Amino acid sequence: MIAIVDYGVGNLFSLRSSCAKIGVEATVTGDVNVIEKADGIILPGVGAFRDAIGKLRQTGLDKVVKEECAAGKPLLGICLGMQMLLQRSFEGGEYDGLGLINGSVKPIKDVIPADYKVPHIGWNKLIFKKRTPLFKYINEGDFVYFVHSFYAADCEKNTTAVTEYGYPLTASVENGMVFGCQFHPEKSGEVGLKILRAYAEIAEGGKQ
């Protein structure tokens, strides 16, 4: 079972539906016991970094996520959920993240050409940087759906894929059993479902 962490931020309907579509048991939960029992954790997130990390800490769920990670349980952060895995964010100030992956979150507008639109919204190609089990069912050049104004910076060592938007923006990261996707697999059609299936298999595989 995969625990989709519900800490009061964002819309979890599509994530739950996409797991159901591929036959993966997933529970939307804010219950520490359920998260502890799960084979894998998905950390979603939309909106502002400060609000999201604040709510995660307020609910105390940041602790259980970190503890389970330390114990080797697979974790997948999506969009803002991925950004929260990093050490800090410079969105509207400076805020600490979970520190599970080295690097920081910075504005896209600082690195892309001036005539490019922000947010980076729409379908863009994945360019692989490292082999990752998360992409075992997809191909380089496959399209996924992005919506974001900030990106994961200074995390080259952990970057598994980038996407080109006048600058190679980080598309996915990985550090041991910690995974992150800047794009939305639950909104990326068949390609996204294949990524979620691969993640579910990683989680199921870790179950002894």
Q: Which is nearer to other proteins, 46 or 111 (CB)?
A: 46
Nearest to 107 by CA among 149, 162, 163: 149
Told to check if 83 binds other proteins by CB under 8 A, we report no
Q: Tell me which of 78, 82, 193, 203 binds other proteins, using CB under 8 A.
A: 193
First to last CA, the chain: 13
CA distance 42 to 11: 13
SS3 49: helix
* 155 part of the active site: no
- Please indicate whether residue 184 is annotated as part of the active site: yes
Neighbours of 206 (CB within 10 A): 13
Check residue 20 for interaction with other proteins (CB under 8 A). yes
Nearer to other proteins, 52 or 202 (CB): 52
Alpha carbon distances (Å) from 186 to 78, 135, 163: 9, 15, 18
Decide: is 165 part of the binding site for other proteins (CB under 8 A): yes
Q: Which residues are catalytic?
A: 79, 184, 186
Which residue ranges make up the site for other proteins (CB under 8 A)? 11, 13-14, 17-18, 20-21, 46-48, 117-124, 143, 145-147, 164-165, 186-190, 192-193
